[in-house]
Amino acid sequence: MDKKLQEKQFYLNNAEKIVSKLSSETLNEKETAQFIKQIEPYHYEEIVEERFVSKLCGYPCCANELTKVI
């Protein structure tokens, strides 16, 4: 496997871990900002969607549960 392909695979694996973590956990703003710098906007959209499905506020720093979805 060439170096660029390995780097891309590493990046994608790392992004997948970040999406998983931010989709299910509530972190402080500093931690969240560190993770957000490592992903693309479409990854963040995925986080918001996954949190919505789990009935959590879409913002990874917010622990509020969704009680009423319109």
CB-based contacts of 31: which residues, under 8 Å, 6+ apart? none
Closest CA to 61 of 42, 49, 48: 48
Read off the pTM. Answer: 0.87
Write out pLDDT tens, residues 31-70. Answer: 999 999 999 999 999 999 999 999 999 999 999 999 987 7
Closest CA to 38 of 63, 19, 53: 19
Write out pLDDT tens, residues 5-40. Answer: 999 999 999 999 999 999 999 999 999 999 999 999
